């Protein structure tokens, strides 16, 4: 819930952080959307494993007769659903605040949002498990994770501005390939390294 | 710590511990020799680059920084590559020395990356007319720096050595995989950095005398890197030994 309020607030702040006589809302829109989603996702990931520490829930999970990979995939799925909910609320707000017409481009934006989110959420899920028992976890997670958001963020913002300019998704095939490769590489790597984070 | 107390503590320790202290000392000595050689060669390299290598036609003397900038960048990326490889090997083999080597490489790499990030803008101001540009290699190096600092910050906030080793190995592997992606995505964003003059499909276009000076710089910086890493690695092992002793005593 806090993440939703946060993303609405960031969008509002973005709108006031520009000079409306110089920068059109549409020019700032891709940046506003992706920076908002990035920060909202980081906030959500901060809590992803912290909740498992209460009442020894994590120990229960570790005792369960399932592989560490299964715990990881479950957590990743949960985080993706959460980020999806944040996006489902951020995107309509974004259309409203930035006065955009997404008619026809909405499916492309949703596909893009999915591709841009999976990879860094995969890494973020690992880092969230890793930082939960570290000092200053709330600070450590963004410090470690924000560099991983750079490739998806650049790609997503570039493709969004092309889409908002009325160009078809096919024009951005190169970016979509990079985003998809990024997702495949980091989901695979995360599954491989995750057991090392939970070893006791 | 006085020498007598350290001696008695080490003599009461099993054989493996004293031999590991000896190995650490050996690593530090080897590192000191390499570093000394590297620094002397580096001084000679400066003289050669400034006095005995032709002045570049359009950039003039500003181009001289190239002979420091490119070698440091090479060693910085080498350093991070080694962090990634050692991290992966650590998770596979579980040898603590690999973790300490990764830590040493990350620290030295941070210094080298910082050198790249300071020499770059010094050159950029007279040639590009601006200190900073959001250019592909510049940006990749900046993120390399952030990754290294993040990695080292994480290490410092975990007290249990095994936990620290495992967690930082995970970050080291993921970070090493991230670098090519950042490079690619910033490349597609835009670029004004000078085009590569050595590593490109049609072969080097740099004049021979400049090329040999540059390659000499790369070799020297690699020696300096290795020297520093060996020293740092030896210190890491000594620290580890000391912590283990404290844990055993208390």
> Residues with Cβ < 8 Å from B168, sequence gap 6 or more?
B87, B99, B102, B103, B151, B154, B155, B158
Give A106 or B29, the one with higher predicted confidence: B29
CA dist B34 and B29 (Å) reads 9
Q: How far is A117 from chain B (nearest CA, A)?
A: 15
- Asked if B154 contacts B197 with a C-beta cutoff of 8 angstroms, the reply is no
Nearest to B169 among A144, A151, A196 (CB): A196
Mean pLDDT, all residues of chain A: 83
φ/ψ (deg, to 5) at B60: 65, -145
Q: Do A178 and B189 touch (CB under 8 A)?
A: no
Query: DSSP states of A35-74 as a string?
Result: HHHHHHHHHHHHHHTHHHHGGGHHHHHHHSSS-HHHHHHH
Nearest chain B CA: its distance from A190 CA (Å):
8
Inter-chain touch A151–B178, beta carbons under 8 Å: yes
Backbone angles phi, psi at B56, to 5 degrees: -65, 140
More confident residue, A198 or B146: B146
How many cross-chain Cβ pairs, A to B, lie less than 8 Å apart?
Answer: 80
Mean pLDDT of the A37-45 span: 83
Residue B204's pLDDT is what?
Answer: 60
pLDDT in tens, chain B (250 residues): 333 333 333 333 444 677 888 888 999 999 999 999 989 988 888 888 777 777 776 677 777 777 888 888 888 889 999 999 999 999 999 888 999 999 999 999 999 999 888 888 888 777 777 777 777 777 788 888 999 999 999 998 888 888 899 999 999 999 988 888 887 877 776 644 555 665 565 556 677 777 888 888 888 889 999 999 999 999 999 988 888 888 887 6
pLDDT (tens digit, 9 = 90+) per residue, A60-83? Answer: 777 777 777 888 898 899 889 988
What distance in Å separates the CA atoms of residue A78 and residue A126, rounded to the nearest whole number?
A: 13
The minimum CA-CA distance between B248 and chain A, rounded to whole Å, is: 21
Residue partners of A103: CB distance under 8 A and separation at least 6: none
The burial class, CB within 10 Å (0-12 / 13-18 / 19+), for B198 is middle
Torsion B182-B188-B192-B193 (CA) sign: positive
Q: Which residues of A touch B169 (CB under 8 A)?
A: 193, 196
Residue A65: predicted pLDDT: 73
Q: Quick one: tokens of B167?
A: 């967690």
Closest CA to A109 of A63, A162, A45: A162
- SS3 of chain B: the string is CCHHHHHHHHHCCCHHHHHHHHHHHHHHHHHHHHHHHHHHHHHHHHHHHHHCCCCECCCEHHHHHHHHHHHHHHHHHHHHHHHHHHHHHHHHHCCHHHHHHHHHHHHHHHHHHHHHHHHHHHHHHHHHCCCCCCCHHHHHHHHHHHHHHHHHHHHHCCCCHHHHHHHHHHHHHHHHHHHHHHHHHHHHHCCCCCCCCCCCCCCCCCCHHHHHHHHHHHHHHHHHHHHHHHHHHHHHHHHHHHHHHHHHHC
Domain ranges in chain B are 21-249
User: B143 touching A, CB under 8 A?
Assistant: yes
What is the pLDDT at residue B6?
39
Half-sphere exposure of A196 (CA within 13 A, CB side): 28
**In this predicted structure, what is the pLDDT of residue B37?**
92
Largest CA distance in chain A: 61
ipTM of the assembly? 0.82
For chain B, the residue count is: 250
Residue with tokens 């991230």: B178
pLDDT at A3 over 80: no
Report yes or no: A169 at the B interface, CB cutoff 8 Å: no
Min distance A13 CA to chain B CA atoms (Å): 25
A175 touches chain B (CB under 8 A): yes
Distance CA B149, CA B107 (A): 9
Nearest CA in chain B to A189: B174
CB of A108 closer than 8 Å to CB of A163: yes
Q: What is the pLDDT of residue A82?
A: 86
Alpha-carbon distance B227 to B223, whole Å? 6
Instruction: Give mean pLDDT, residues A164-181.
Output: 84
- What integer is the mean pLDDT of A141-161? 88
Tell me, what's the pLDDT at B11? Answer: 36
Partner A contacted by B154 (CB < 8 A)? yes
């Amino acid at each position: 819930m806090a993440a939703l309020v946060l993303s609405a607030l960031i969008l509002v702040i973005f709108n006031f952080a520009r000079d409306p006589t110089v920068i059109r809302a549409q020019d700032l829109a891709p940046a506003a959307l992706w920076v908002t989603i990035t920060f909202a996702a980081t906030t959500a990931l901060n809590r992803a494993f912290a909740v498992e520490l209460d009442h020894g829930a994590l120990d229960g999970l570790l005792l369960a007769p399932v592989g560490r990979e299964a715990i990881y995939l479950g957590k990743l799925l949960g985080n993706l659903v959460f980020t999806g909910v944040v996006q489902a609320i951020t995107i309509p707000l974004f259309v409203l605040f930035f006065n955009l017409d997404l008619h026809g481009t909405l499916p492309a934006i949703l596909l893009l949002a999915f591709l841009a989110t999976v990879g860094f959420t995969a890494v973020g899920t690992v880092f969230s498990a890793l930082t939960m028992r570290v000092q200053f976890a709330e600070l450590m997670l963004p410090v470690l994770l924000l560099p991983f958001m750079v490739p998806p963020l650049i790609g997503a913002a570039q493709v969004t501005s092309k889409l908002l300019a009325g160009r078809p998704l096919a024009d951005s095939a190169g970016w979509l390939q990079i985003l998809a490769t990024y997702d495949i590489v980091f989901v695979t790597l995360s599954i491989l390294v995750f057991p090392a984070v939970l070893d006791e | 710590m006085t020498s007598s107390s350290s001696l008695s503590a080490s003599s009461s320790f099993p054989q493996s511990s004293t031999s590991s202290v000896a190995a650490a000392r050996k690593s530090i000595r080897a590192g000191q020799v390499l570093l000394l050689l590297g620094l002397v060669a580096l001084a000679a390299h400066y003289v050669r680059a400034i006095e005995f290598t032709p002045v570049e036609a359009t950039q003039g003397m500003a181009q001289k920084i190239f002979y420091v900038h490119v070698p440091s960048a090479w060693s910085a990326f080498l350093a991070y590559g080694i962090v990634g490889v050692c991290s992966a090997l650590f998770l596979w083999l579980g040898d603590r020395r690999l973790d300490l080597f990764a830590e040493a490489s990350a620290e030295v790499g941070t210094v080298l990356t910082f050198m790249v990030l300071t020499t770059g803008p010094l050159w950029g101001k007279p040639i590009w007319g601006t200190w900073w540009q959001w250019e592909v290699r510049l940006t990749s190096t900046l993120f390399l720096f952030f990754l290294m600092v993040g990695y080292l910050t994480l290490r410092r906030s975990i007290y249990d050595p095994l936990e620290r080793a495992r967690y930082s190995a995970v970050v080291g592997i993921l970070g090493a995989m991230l670098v090519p992606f950042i490079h690619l995505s910033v490349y597609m964003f835009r670029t004004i950095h000078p085009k590569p003059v050595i590593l490109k499909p049609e072969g080097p276009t740099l004049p021979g005398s400049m090329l040999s000076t540059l390659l000499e710089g790369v070799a020297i910086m690699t020696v300096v890197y290795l020297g520093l890493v060996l020293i740092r690695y030896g210190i890491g092992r000594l620290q580890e030994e000391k912590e283990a002793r404290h844990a055993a005593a208390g």
